[in-house]
């Protein structure tokens, strides 16, 4: 039960009552608290969203990239496997933030970074979401135009590419505007349809496949530096979902479903979706007679005529699934930056930005270089953020959160227990800054070379170094500068401040002494 004062305190920060979240209805909730009675989703929906959402050319290209770096199929597949396992293991715990706080992960991160420090997570999510949404539009648009050239004889020009990108953009934006219920329902359709078409594609390209095929010299001059670079890029797949897991897990009831079921569903969906598509990308890349700057254009050129229609369906349905995940997340996190805006408005704004990034990346810069540089830089920024949030959950908060105080940024008045120093928890912010600085300085791409990139003889340390520095710095800060007692788990808090959330779940409330 929630006390009368708790109901008043949650007041304007809960989702609008009576708005059932379902297919075809525009979602009214933004980043505000979702009450227990409105949490109608299931762990299996987490699996469907993150499994089906990866069946897109924008994710498949991350299996193609290691082949362009000079690896053969086995080298590319093993690098993807190791990177994805590491990244998935790192983010799994963050699937539990949503059910405990009733909001998305970036707002939840205020419990570790501070009410204003949560903006770090919102900024990171925006960068990830906008970049991956742009890649989704680029790859699907390229496939659409390349297939139209073979089927209808329409030439590939900047104009036709622009039209193709616009078509994909419109379908993605429309679904993202409807929100959670429509996104989940759509992914249930995308996963089996596109999954079958990818399996058919294996048979289509099997005659030309040779696991020993090598298309280029090692990008970094030797096998291991190139292999490690490929593994680090693969880590970026799971990391990109770390801030968005709560977009969907927040609608799962803690009283009906266990933590294990939530984490298992999220991790399996993320890992299997990314690994299956990475294998398809590496497999088909090894079967192509040559590689250019556009994976999907090469794929369409080499594909049997009978497989062109499946490629079109993958472009439309797969691009829709991946693009919607990112635009929906970007809309929520822009709302976190500007709480007075509605989710509909922020989604439209971020959609326009994503399309702008797409045209910039394709027509101004080299697309492959842009993807590589973007992934490495974002990994360096996201690694320490994820590590600090995981340690914050396990060590500092021990799984206990006060949902009302996480929403204090919306109104004037008392700042709550997560205000720290002016809204920033320097115990987390400073280690993140130091770790991120190392990540950026240790990055080495064709677009940018950091001054620390040669510390290990060309082996990429940007992700591992930034993550370890951030995690170690945070733990050290907690030991040297312990947080006030009021911030510790419920077992050590006075009754007047203890949140009602228990190990068995339930909605947050504040016990008020009479």
Question: Tokens 């390349």 sit at which residue?
Answer: 146
Q: Which domains does the chain have, with CATH numbers?
A: 41-367 (1.10.4160.10)
Give the per-residue pLDDT at 8.
47
How many angstroms separate the CA atoms of 283 and 52, rounded? 20
Question: Tokens 């209808």 sit at which residue?
Answer: 152
Give the per-residue pLDDT at 493.
34
- Low-confidence stretches of the chain (pLDDT beneath 50): 1-9, 11-12, 17-18, 490-514
Give the per-residue pLDDT at 68.
93
Angle at 104 between CA 101 and CA 106, to 5 degrees: 105
Tens digit of each residue's pLDDT (9 = 90 or more) over 167-210: 888 888 887 777 767 777 777 788 889 999 999 999 999 999 99
How many angstroms separate the CA atoms of 34 and 99, rounded? 9
Structure tokens given for 227: 């292999």
How many angstroms separate the CA atoms of 43 and 259, rounded? 10
Give the per-residue pLDDT at 370.
67
How many angstroms separate the CA atoms of 361 and 367, rounded? 6
CB 104 within 8 A of CB 247: yes
Give the per-residue pLDDT at 448.
73
How many angstroms separate the CA atoms of 167 and 323, rounded? 13
CB 46 within 8 A of CB 249: yes
How many angstroms separate the CA atoms of 477 and 426, rounded? 9
How many angstroms separate the CA atoms of 60 and 54, rounded? 8
CB 474 within 8 A of CB 467: no
Question: Tokens 């492959």 sit at which residue?
Answer: 368
């Amino acid at each position: 039960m929630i006390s009368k004062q708790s109901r008043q305190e949650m007041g304007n920060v809960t989702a609008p009552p009576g708005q059932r979240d379902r297919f075809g209805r525009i979602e009214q909730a933004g980043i505000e608290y979702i009450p227990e009675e409105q949490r109608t989703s299931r762990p299996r929906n987490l699996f469907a969203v993150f499994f089906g959402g990866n069946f897109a050319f924008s994710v498949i290209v991350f299996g193609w990239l290691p082949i362009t770096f000079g690896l053969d199929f086995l080298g590319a597949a093993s690098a993807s496997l190791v990177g994805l396992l590491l990244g998935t293991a790192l983010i799994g715990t963050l699937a539990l933030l949503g059910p405990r706080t009733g909001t998305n992960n970036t707002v939840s991160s205020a419990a570790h970074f501070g009410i204003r420090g949560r903006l770090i997570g919102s900024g990171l999510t925006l960068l990830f979401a906008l970049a991956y949404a742009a890649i989704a539009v680029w790859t699907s648009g390229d496939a659409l135009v390349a297939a139209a050239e073979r089927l209808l004889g329409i030439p590939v020009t900047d104009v036709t590419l622009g039209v193709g990108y616009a078509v994909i953009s419109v379908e993605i934006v429309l679904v993202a505007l409807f929100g959670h219920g429509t996104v989940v329902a759509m992914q249930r359709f995308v996963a089996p349809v596109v999954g079958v078409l990818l399996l058919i594609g294996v048979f289509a390209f099997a005659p030309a496949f040779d696991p020993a095929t090598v298309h280029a010299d090692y990008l970094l001059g030797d096998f291991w530096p190139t292999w490690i670079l490929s593994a680090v890029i693969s880590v970026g797949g799971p990391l990109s979902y770390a801030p968005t897991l709560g977009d969907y897990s927040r609608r799962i009831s803690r009283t009906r479903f266990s933590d294990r079921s939530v984490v298992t569903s999220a991790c399996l969906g993320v890992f299997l979706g990314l690994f299956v598509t990475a294998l398809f990308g590496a497999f088909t890349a090894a079967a192509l007679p040559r590689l250019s700057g556009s994976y999907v254009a090469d794929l369409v050129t080499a594909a049997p005529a009978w497989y062109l229609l499946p490629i079109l369906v993958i472009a439309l349905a797969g691009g829709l699934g991946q693009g919607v995940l990112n635009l929906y997340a970007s809309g929520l996190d822009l709302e976190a930056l500007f709480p007075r805006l509605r989710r509909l408005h922020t989604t439209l704004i971020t959609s326009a930005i994503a399309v702008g990034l797409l045209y910039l990346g394709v027509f101004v810069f080299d697309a492959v270089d842009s993807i590589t540089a973007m992934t490495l830089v974002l990994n360096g920024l996201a690694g320490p953020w994820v590590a600090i949030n995981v340690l914050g959950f396990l060590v500092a908060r021990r799984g206990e959160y006060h949902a009302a105080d996480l929403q204090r940024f919306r109104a004037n008045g008392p700042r709550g227990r997560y205000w720290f120093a002016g809204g920033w928890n320097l115990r987390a912010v400073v280690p993140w800054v130091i770790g991120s600085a190392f990540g950026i300085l240790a990055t080495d791409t064709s677009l940018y070379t950091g001054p620390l990139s040669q510390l290990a003889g060309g082996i990429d340390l940007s992700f591992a170094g930034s993550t370890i520095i951030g995690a170690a710095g945070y733990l050290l800060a907690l030991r040297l500068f312990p947080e006030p007692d009021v911030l510790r788990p419920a077992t050590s808090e006075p009754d007047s401040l203890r949140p009602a959330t228990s190990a068995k779940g339930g909605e947050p409330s504040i016990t008020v002494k009479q």
